[in-house]
Structure 1
Amino acid sequence: MMRSGLLLFFIGLAACSPPVTKSKAKIEEFRQYLEKSRTDDGVLLESRMLAGSNGLVWENSGKYQGDILLDDSQLEDLVADFAGVSNDNNRNAFVVANTRWPNNVMIFNYASNEFNNAQQNAIRTAMSWIEHFSCVRFRWRSNERVFVRMTGNPTGCYAHVGFSTAHPNRVLNLARNNHCFSHGVIIHELLHSLGFQHMHQTYERDSFVRINWNNIISGQEFAFTRFPRNQVNLHGLPYEYTSIMHYHNQAFSRNRQPTIVPLRSFSGTMGQMEQTSYWDWLRLRRHYNCPGAWNRNSEEIMKKEVERTLPLIKLNLPAPKQGLFTDEDNAYVRALNADTNNEDIVNEEAMDYEDSDNENNNFNEDIGNDNYEN
């Protein structure tokens, strides 16, 4: 099985049902709809949230699937599939394309006056936890051609998905307000930039959820496309209702009734944005082929580390400076790479949280309180 990533960069490619040829008028209507999702409609995120929309902030950000920015290639693939003329051979070639960031390093920048200090701290804190739980690293742009430009447009929280040499100008937008600047939302959008799609689009989803098509806002049905097996990959991990990448159960609802209904019992909240699950972290590690990510005890070790660090995350603290995956000699990395069932090895090397940067303790009080003109 190709291990090129979870719910990757295959935006809007084929649904599993046979293609149905559409009229030219319908095809053009669909194209215009997608084109509109790529433009700035000027509607403030706060206005969308107050308009009675159900679901999460990134579901109400006005882009494809709510928070996905389409590049030219993705838009054309969507239109071709909608028209029923997609070429499977071309798709296979597209699947082969590597959308992981080279050397596991995401290049980014933002203008010096784009975000206030509290907002910059929130971004750095989210990045620190991704670095803590994976081998992914973030580096400020020098002169790299492909990079993520972080912006503060007030219209929503959204991002391009993954790395692309064909479309090097990647964007991750976080409206400068309390909606986008929560820890979970920033992590969600960063995971898009790293190559993740939404959980409900994986090929096996119909065994876990039922889509209530009659409850979906007209024109938003395509946001619930189920991708074929050769276009998505959960990396050997289960479908997860409580993934930070899962839609809310009333996403794009026209009548406040559920659009996604779980078919199995589970604990927690579908579409929760409070914390990144240990399966989310492990999928990221496997997507980027981090050391030990495929070892038999990796799930249990990740689960323990998520439980151990949750108090820090709830306090909006950054990850410890001495990260678990920054030193190959670290006991935690040895545990992931060791062929052992001794799960307690993770506790052999205590970490000194006192050295963590505590200046972010109260950053929530300042989020959104900037002086920028919108």
Structure 2
Amino acid sequence: MFSNWKLICLIIFIKFVNIWTIENISEVQTNNSNNDAELKYLLHEIKFHSAKKFGIFSDSVIDEGAEEMKKATFNDGTEASINRKVSDYLFENDIVLNLDQANEILKEVKSGKKIGKRQAQPGLRFLWTKKRINYQFSSNEYDWKLLIRKALKHIEEETCMRFSENNGDIDKLQYFRGSGCWSNVGRQGGRQQVSIGYGCESMGIIAHETLHALGLWHEQSRYDRDDFVKIDWLKIFRGTQSNFEKRTPLTSDNMDMPYDLGSVMHYGSKAFSTDWSSYSIITKDSKYQQTIGQRRGISFKDAKMVNLRYCMDICRKQLNCKNGGYTDPNNCLQCRCPTGYSGTFCDKVAKSNRKECKGGELKANGKWQTIKSPPLSAGIDCHWRITAPADKKIELKFEKINFPCADVCDSYVEVKHNLDKIPTGARICCPLTKNSVITKEVGTDVLLNFNGDNSVQNGYYGFTLNYRILTADEQIVDEIIETTTQISTTTTTKNTLGRWSTWGLWSTCSHKCGGCGTRVRVRACYPEGSECEGSFEGEESCNPQVCTKVDAKKNQRCDGRLVMPCSLMEKLDFGTTKSDRTSNDVVHLPINSRNLKIIKEGERRIKRTKRFVDGDKQMQEESICEKKFSYNCPTNLLTINVDWKKINDNYQIGSCCPGYKPDYDNNKCILI
């Protein structure tokens, strides 16, 4: 009887617990629903009150601007482009706010007060309580998980933070395939989602969202933003002004760190831009224009922010580090140095990774001296430091600059010429105005970092730089270099300097053997009508090997192709060979007066507009077409002709081209 009562009591208790749990889950769900609605309202209020400052008083205008932005298709390589379609639910395009944050930011926007510094989330409740953070995946995609692990490893190498997969802690990051790339700012408690959706698969974007989760805000939201960049309010979508609001210590803390244009937390130069060809963010010093928006990885300053926040209790003794370095929490006997510096105390120039760099220490004097970089290649990393007496300034003039020019430099020469070496220097990959001058402050050195992205193509020669010290009686001239115009105190002239596209694919070699073969590739100068230094065409020798009997046998046929604009292809008349190989894909081009005229006209137009054939990529985009043809080979002169095939054609049989002789020991043809 007693056991039955125990069973009855247990059943009643279980039912009571189930009822209590259901009621509380329902209450939590209701609260979450209420929170979502309130948060959406607060986001709308932030956007509305920010837009009011620019004369926008209608919700419909804000909604129309959001719809217009969703239709934009250009990609600047940052989360801002990827998140256009989900921006209604995000702050600054990739941040999920909690209610407290949204309320405080709304107060800032309404008050309009800019009273302090902002970047890292203040308040102990938003800090992670452990240096080892639990994380998990909600998707089982191997490559996707591998890339996230790589980004977390990158943060571990630069900071004291560690990330442990599925370690059981309640507070954790959950990476999932959401719509776009976004995160909370700071620890929220419990499971905290970080969306790494399709299009977000880059180490820099993953690091960007993870640094948000660690408590960092966007760089361009700092109170001192306007000292370094200018927002072109006329170039952004209507109703998106709130994404450029500056805030106060109420919501964040800069931790006395300088503004960093190379931070992975900085917007790109075309964030929220209505036009792919226009910058919405313009750097005050135009040498930094291609520095902002990088997503290669966290900067030295980004890492220092995290280490100052979480890692200062690791090393008992703080070293006397130079040039903005600090005691490395991963090695307390060593300083962690800004890029380009090395040594225990960051007082030496970093070692270059290749002998051809010829980097190291240089001393400036009153005469011009020259630094010429080696040709740009994948992974190259060279460093130079130019020093001068403490009371002197150093003048720099770039003689040549030749890199893949892009909105954000992936391969570049970085110039650190300011006193503070913590921020990223000016990363230069595009032509500057002629005789451009960069001067440094008194009492500091100039650091040059020459870097080639791992995927860069060969064919760029890097840079040539002249330097000297200025004597007391010389006046320093700083040329102001704007993005589209060259400005002086007396005149304004249009900047006609252009930039080269990347090289196209190599053509097939003109000869299969014999030593005289060549192949070419081309690139384009843009924008149209501008001028670029150097040639649009590159050429190199190929197939130096001695011809064999197989190479020179009779009746051998070679395949070629004509590559030209599709509009030109449609106007040409093609005939076919009468042979077993005849098909729509293997043709001869009749050489008649009509075709010759059209070809010459097309060549002139191509040269005039400097069109660029980027291998098969543009063919896939239907702007460039190809037509295959066959011809007898080997031959010294290829003539495209219409003729009947002759049996027993005679072909040149020789081991080398005219003017070359065979070197049988090395199986090469050499020039006589």
Q: For 1:269, what is the secondary structure of its paired residue?
A: coil
184-193 or 249-258, which deviates more: 249-258
Evaluate the alpha carbon distance shift between residue 76 and residue 235 of structure 1 in structure 2; reply closer, same or farther with a 3 A threshold.
Answer: closer
Evaluate the alpha carbon distance shift between residue 333 and residue 238 of structure 1 in structure 2; reply closer, same or farther with a 3 A threshold.
Answer: same
Residues 1:241 and 2:261 aligned together: yes
One-letter amino acid matched to 1:297:
C
Q: How does 1:155-170 map to 2 (within 5 A)?
A: 155-165=179-189, 168-170=190-192
Structure-2 residue corresponding to 1:3: none
One-letter amino acid matched to 1:98:
R
Specify which structure has the higher proportion of strand: 2
Residues 1:128 and 2:153 aligned together: yes
Does the 8 Å contact 1:132/1:325 carry over to 2?
A: no
Structure-2 residue corresponding to 1:232: 252
Does the 8 Å contact 1:160/1:172 carry over to 2?
A: yes
Partners of 1:115 and 1:181 in 2: how far apart?
15
The Cα of 1:147 is off from its aligned counterpart by 2.2
Evaluate the alpha carbon distance shift between residue 222 and residue 240 of structure 1 in structure 2; reply closer, same or farther with a 3 A threshold.
Answer: same
Residues 1:68 and 2:67 aligned together: no
One-letter amino acid matched to 1:67:
D
Across the two proteins, how many residue pairs are aligned to each other? 277
The Cα of 1:57 is off from its aligned counterpart by 3.4
Q: How does 1:267-286 map to 2 (within 5 A)?
A: 267=288, 268-286=290-308
Does the 8 Å contact 1:241/1:266 carry over to 2?
A: no
Partners of 1:67 and 1:220 in 2: how far apart?
13
Specify which structure has the higher proportion of helix: 1
Does the 8 Å contact 2:335/2:344 carry over to 1?
A: no
The Cα of 1:133 is off from its aligned counterpart by 1.3
Q: After superposition, give the CA deviation of every residue in 1:130-161 in whole Å (9 maximum; x if it has no partner).
A: 111111111334554432221112x2111111
Q: For 2:333, what is the secondary structure of its paired residue?
A: helix
Structure-1 residue corresponding to 2:80: 59
Partners of 2:102 and 2:250 in 1: how far apart?
20
One-letter amino acid matched to 2:259:
Y
Evaluate the alpha carbon distance shift between residue 82 and residue 207 of structure 1 in structure 2; reply closer, same or farther with a 3 A threshold.
Answer: closer
What 5-or-longer segments of structure 2 have no aligned partner?
A: 1-41, 116-120, 347-454, 456-672
Q: After superposition, give the CA deviation of every residue in 1:168-198 in whole Å (9 maximum; x if it has no partner).
A: 44210111x4x21111111111111111111
Evaluate the alpha carbon distance shift between residue 276 and residue 82 of structure 1 in structure 2; reply closer, same or farther with a 3 A threshold.
Answer: closer
What 5-or-longer segments of structure 1 have no aligned partner?
A: 1-10, 42-46, 89-93, 304-323, 327-331, 348-363, 365-374
Does the 8 Å contact 1:59/1:67 carry over to 2?
A: yes
Does the 8 Å contact 2:108/2:248 carry over to 1?
A: no
Residues 1:287 and 2:286 aligned together: no
The Cα of 1:345 is off from its aligned counterpart by 3.0
Does the 8 Å contact 2:319/2:326 carry over to 1?
A: no
Does the 8 Å contact 2:185/2:215 carry over to 1?
A: yes
One-letter amino acid matched to 1:281:
A
Structure 1 residue corresponding to 2:208, chosen from 164, 176, 188: 188
One-letter amino acid matched to 2:232:
N
The Cα of 1:258 is off from its aligned counterpart by 1.8
Partners of 1:284 and 1:110 in 2: how far apart?
23
Q: After superposition, give the CA deviation of every residue in 1:269-328 in whole Å (9 maximum; x if it has no partner).
A: 21011232212211221122344697552766579xxxxxxxxxxxxxxxxxxxx855xx
Structure-2 residue corresponding to 1:151: 176
Q: After superposition, give the CA deviation of every residue in 1:100-128 in whole Å (9 maximum; x if it has no partner).
A: 211223232223xx031222111111111
Structure-2 residue corresponding to 1:203: 223
Q: For 1:102, what is the secondary structure of its paired residue?
A: coil
Partners of 1:278 and 1:66 in 2: how far apart?
24
Residues 1:261 and 2:282 aligned together: yes
Partners of 1:264 and 1:129 in 2: how far apart?
30
Report % sequence identity: 21
Structure-1 residue corresponding to 2:321: 297
Structure 2 residue corresponding to 1:174, chosen from 181, 191, 196: 196
Partners of 1:64 and 1:56 in 2: how far apart?
19
One-letter amino acid matched to 2:299:
S
The Cα of 1:225 is off from its aligned counterpart by 0.8
TM-score, length of structure 1 as denominator length? 0.62
TM-score, length of structure 2 as denominator length? 0.36
Partners of 2:193 and 2:262 in 1: how far apart?
26
Evaluate the alpha carbon distance shift between residue 298 and residue 346 of structure 1 in structure 2; reply closer, same or farther with a 3 A threshold.
Answer: closer
Partners of 1:229 and 1:74 in 2: how far apart?
12
Does the 8 Å contact 1:131/1:137 carry over to 2?
A: yes
212-221 or 242-251, which deviates more: 212-221
Does the 8 Å contact 2:80/2:93 carry over to 1?
A: yes
Does the 8 Å contact 2:134/2:172 carry over to 1?
A: yes
One-letter amino acid matched to 2:187:
F
- Asked which structure has the greater RCO (Cα within 8 Å, sep 6+), the reply is 1
One-letter amino acid matched to 1:199:
E
One-letter amino acid matched to 1:104:
K
The Cα of 1:230 is off from its aligned counterpart by 5.5
One-letter amino acid matched to 2:291:
T
RMSD: 4.2
Partners of 1:212 and 1:343 in 2: how far apart?
39
Partners of 1:174 and 1:210 in 2: how far apart?
30
One-letter amino acid matched to 2:344:
I
Partners of 1:19 and 1:216 in 2: how far apart?
14
Evaluate the alpha carbon distance shift between residue 121 and residue 298 of structure 1 in structure 2; reply closer, same or farther with a 3 A threshold.
Answer: farther
Q: After superposition, give the CA deviation of every residue in 1:3-58 in whole Å (9 maximum; x if it has no partner).
A: xxxxxxxx99xx9xx99999xxx79x59x98xxx9xxx9xxxxx96x832453431
Structure-2 residue corresponding to 1:221: 241
Structure-2 residue corresponding to 1:138: 163
One-letter amino acid matched to 2:181:
C
271-280 or 216-225, which deviates more: 271-280
Evaluate the alpha carbon distance shift between residue 219 and residue 294 of structure 1 in structure 2; reply closer, same or farther with a 3 A threshold.
Answer: farther
Q: For 1:210, what is the secondary structure of its paired residue?
A: strand
Q: For 1:334, what is the secondary structure of its paired residue?
A: strand
Does the 8 Å contact 1:58/1:156 carry over to 2?
A: yes
Partners of 1:75 and 1:294 in 2: how far apart?
38
Partners of 1:79 and 1:54 in 2: how far apart?
30
Does the 8 Å contact 2:322/2:345 carry over to 1?
A: no
Q: For 1:271, what is the secondary structure of its paired residue?
A: coil
